[in-house]
Amino acid sequence: MFICSAKKRCCRPVGVKVGVLALQGDVAEHILAFREALADRPGSTVVPVRHVEDLVGLDGLAIPGGESTTISRLMGKNGLYEPLTGFEGGIFATCAGMVLVADRVDDPRVRSLGLISMHVARNAFGPQINSRETLLNIAGLADPFRAVFIRAPVVTEVGPGVEVLARIPEGIVAVRSGRHMAFAFHPELGGDFRLHRMFLEGLGV
């Protein structure tokens, strides 16, 4: 979306408002990453989200990595499940966030949001000692992305309308569904914000 002035005969992008679910996990890293990705969009803001009223006016929302069972419990405690399932903006989900946006999860302790048609295996990489970095080819990016996997999940199956963006031998690690994107790794780490910009472009604002 653009605001145009006939007198000035120029257009400028409208500011974007992105929230970061701030219940548990690497919240600060997501806030900094989106601020960097929005540096060329004057008037844009990135805000923490803890309560239902914090969702008002958001164009997009990041659900960060952390402990998916803990985030799930805190979403229920804060009354966020129904508002999030009806959220009209895009969602940028990483690691635990990927687990939470799925419609099928292999752990009954996690109450997922069902926003993306996919089956996710939680902690598919095993203990944190098995965490790793790798150069990953991702659809839509010209050059490989250095992906940081930390006790990561993987997607074992996707449903109709879900685009697979990247996979590794363990399974699918990046998907897009409409305005939503989900990653098994942590794109907020490492200073490469191409995936954040891809997400923002998909919001249509």
- Is residue 95 part of the annotated active site? The answer reads yes
Whole-number pLDDT of residue 107: 87
Whole-number pLDDT of residue 9: 35
Whole-number pLDDT of residue 190: 85
Q: From the candidates 30, 95, 180, 196, which is the catalytic residue?
A: 95
The pTM of this model reads: 0.90
Whole-number pLDDT of residue 1: 38
Element (H, E) at 146: strand 145-149
Taking the chain (205 residues) in runs of 10, the rounded mean pLDDT of each run is 39 81 94 96 96 97 94 96 95 96 92 96 66 91 95 94 95 97 94 96 88
Q: What DSSP designation does 23 have?
A: S
Q: What topology does CATH give the domain 8-202?
A: Rossmann fold (3.40.50)
Per the CB < 8 A criterion, the answer to whether 131 and 149 are in contact is: yes
Q: From the candidates 30, 180, 188, 196, which is the catalytic residue?
A: 188
d(CA 138, CA 151): 20
Per the CB < 8 A criterion, the answer to whether 98 and 60 are in contact is: no
Whole-number pLDDT of residue 126: 61
Whole-number pLDDT of residue 6: 40
Whole-number pLDDT of residue 151: 85
Q: From the candidates 30, 180, 186, 196, which is the catalytic residue?
A: 186
Q: One-letter amino acid identity for 161?
A: G
- Is residue 186 part of the annotated active site? The answer reads yes
- Is residue 119 part of the annotated active site? The answer reads no
Per the CB < 8 A criterion, the answer to whether 188 and 46 are in contact is: no
Cα separations in angstroms, 94 against 10, 82, 119, 185: 37, 20, 15, 6
